Amino acid sequence: MATEERSRHEQQFSLAGKVAVITGAASGIGRAIARRFAASGAVVRILELNLAEAEETCSEIKAADGKATAHSCDVANQEQVKATFAGILDRERVNILVNNAGIAHIGRLETTSEAEFDRIYSVNVKGFYNCMYACIGHMKDNGGGVILNMASVAGSSGLADRFAYSTSKGAVIAMTYSVARDYLPNNIRCNCISPARVHTPFVDGYIKKNFPGKEKEMFEKLSNAQPIGRMAEPDEIAALAHFLCSDEAGFITGTDYPIDGGYFKLHG
């Protein structure tokens, strides 16, 4: 392989020189994305309700010679979001926004209260809107950018007892398509990722709380719900996020990417 070509391949998927804002990166998928982006050269800015855990993510990144800061922010509160973004945008150009902060809910229509529905909407839908709203003008004025929204297979498949959550993730997919279409002339790409079940601390906590004494049995049952026979790992989701936010994905916009162990096409 020629020296020039080898050098080009070594630089592929680099995020060097880019600033990435990632919401909800205190644990799980968000933390994996933040660590991977920083390892690829990005400067990471974490927006998180749980500031202490976000600082832990930053400490891990800095220990690996990466760059990251944590910012206390409730993504459901537009004034907080606008103020937090203003502080970041006053100092630097933001190239990448990853909307990852979200909350889960279990229940069907008749068991979902109005308060529960409003809470899911405020974080999973309005939170994504707030962050995109706060930075879209900045991206337009600075030559473009990349927005990646974390959706779910629940947004496009019928999952039992996930009424409010599925509704919110369906909205995320629709928002992604709309933003991608409207900002094509501004060199802003917008995509979303739809994972199936991912092995995160939330899953372990859910099993421990709801199935005491049967943790191993329930873990295997939830794992086998994916045709591939296991849950995804956060780093696997982060790898796809990394690609979609890199220059190598420059021809990709307005796409919902399932990463689901075959669930969507092979389930049942």
Same domain, 249 and 219: no
For residue 264, being part of any structural domain is answered with no
Q: Which domain, by its residues, includes 100? A: 18-196+234-257
Same domain, 30 and 131: yes
Same domain, 93 and 187: yes
Return d(Cα 17, Cα 40) in angstroms, integer: 10
Does pTM surpass 0.75?
A: yes
Q: What order do you get walking across the sheet with 256-259 strand by strand? A: 67-72, 43-48, 19-23, 96-99, 145-150, 188-195, 256-259
Would the CA dihedral through 131, 136, 243, 156 be positive or negative?
positive
- One of 165, 183, 206, 257 is an active-site residue; which one? 165
For residue 7, being part of any structural domain is answered with no
Rounded to the nearest angstrom, the gap between the alpha carbon of residue 54 and the centroid of all alpha carbons in its chain is: 15
Return d(Cα 102, Cα 19) in angstroms, integer: 22
In one-letter notation, the amino acid at residue 228 is I
Same domain, 227 and 243: no
Same domain, 129 and 245: yes
Residue 15 in contact with residue 246, Cβ under 8 Å?
yes
Same domain, 114 and 209: no
The CATH number of residue 77's host domain is 3.40.50.720
257 is catalytic: no
The confidence score (pLDDT) of residue 144 equals 98
Walking along the chain (268 residues) 10 residues at a time, the average pLDDT comes out as 51 93 96 98 97 97 98 98 98 98 93 97 98 98 98 87 94 98 98 91 79 86 83 94 98 95 68
The confidence score (pLDDT) of residue 102 equals 95
The confidence score (pLDDT) of residue 261 equals 82
For residue 262, being part of any structural domain is answered with no
Distances (CA, A) of 77 to 81, 82, 134, 148, 248: 6, 9, 12, 20, 34
49: tokens are 């309700």
